[in-house]
Amino acid sequence: LAKQRGRNQWCFYDPEIQSALEARNQLERDLRLAVETQQLFLVYQLQVDIEGRPFGAEALLRWQHPQQGLISPADFIPLAEESGLIIPIGYQVLRTACEQLVRWQAHPATDHLTLAVNVSAKQFAQADFVAQVLNILQQTQAPRHLLKLELTESMVLTQVEETIEKMHHIKALGLAFSMDDFGTGYSSLQYLKRLPLDQLKIDQSFVRDLQHEDDATIVRTIIAMGKALNLQVIAEGVETREQQDFLARYACDAFQGYLFCRPELAEEITQRLQQYAIAHPAPWMMEAPST
Ligand code: C2E
Ligand code: MG
Ligand code: MG
Ligand code: MG
């Protein structure tokens, strides 16, 4: 058949490519349905300070597929971005995260937790992004000072001026910004200092390979860079005590990783923090020492 179409015509009948394409299209249809039938849900991973005290969490998306089981965001976020589904998904994530923040206000063990939400480039680039965020804030009445948006370097590198302006608008609403996966992009110090950021997040690939000389150097440099810019520096993917010790030695401010906490359902996080509060009462909750 290909021959009949002549020399300049090309088509392929590679059955493997064909079935991969079909699987992709099926998954996109499934994702569309997943949004409508609420198969997507959030888990939360705690972030701890240098003393090991939990101060925040990151919201991470999960998809419970009816046939395929749990699908990782690494496998469906790219699809959501290509199909544009990331826009409704992203706002649903933000809304759910805001509702969770409100729920956490009910207990002193959780009412101080900051909550970080990942924002995809495509969503952030929407002309009405700021208006949509404001809308969700007003509807949920979430405590704005506890909400943090995570951006990545790549999305900030295109349309620099618009991005900076948008970030300032959102900062003015009371939210904070973190630069996620830091070190994997190409942002220069010159340019980084123009962004109204609050936190740098060291990408987990550097943390994983800390035993290598060059990765250790990169991590030390990122921490120093963050300090120079007056930003909180958090390391993600911390799995071992050795990694924590190295990071602490170079004055990394905070950690996120399996060593401290896996991503868990909100109720599990709440329980964990209530137990933590009992085991580590704040000074004002402790009994006065007897004299
Ligand atoms: P990320 O924002 O960099 O999130 C950190 C990822 O590292 C999460 O993977 C988390 O589960 C994983 N992680 C945390 N601690 C450790 C550790 O100690 N070791 C290892 N090996 N991994 C650890 P996850 O949940 O699979 O998410 C992957 C990526 O998908 C996220 O990377 C983020 O870019 C994206 N993503 C997740 N949720 C959302 C969302 O709601 N919206 C958007 N736009 N992207 C999301
Ligand atoms: Mg993130
Ligand atoms: Mg990251
Ligand atoms: Mg990542």
Q: Residue 221 is encoded by which pair of tokens?
A: 């440099």
Compute CA distances 10 → 1, 14, 20, 201, whole Å.
10, 12, 19, 46
Pocket test for ligand 1, best of 60, 119, 155 (most atoms within 8 A of CB): 60
Ion ligand 3: residue ranges with CB closer than 5 A: 180-181, 236
Average pLDDT along the chain: 92
Q: Which residues pair with 47 in a beta bridge?
A: 56
Task: Name the residue among 226, 267, 230 with its Cα closest to residue 42.
Answer: 267
Q: What is the largest CA-CA distance in the chain?
A: 99
> How remote is the CA of residue 207 from the centroid of ligand 2, in Å?
15
pLDDT of residue 18: 87
* Mean pLDDT, rounded, for 268-277: 97
Q: pLDDT tens, 155-214?
A: 777 788 899 999 999 999 999 999 999 988 877 777 888 999 999 999 999 999 999 999
Three-state secondary-structure class, residue 242: helix
Per-residue confidence band for 289, with pLDDT thresholds at 50, 70 and 90? low
Closest CA to 208 of 189, 178, 184: 184
Q: Is 67 helix (H, G, I), strand (E, B) or coil?
A: coil
Q: Which residues pair with 114 in a beta bridge?
A: 56
Quote the CA–CA distance of 284 and 182 in Å, as a whole number: 37
Give 8-66 pLDDT, tens digit per residue.
556 667 888 888 889 889 999 999 999 999 999 999 999 999 999 999 999 999 999 99
pLDDT of amino acid 268: 98
pLDDT (tens digit per residue) in 206-253: 999 999 999 999 999 999 999 999 999 999 999 999 999 999 999 999
Question: Looking at ligand 1, which atom is closest to the CA of residue 152?
Answer: 34
The more confidently predicted of residues 284 and 69 is 69
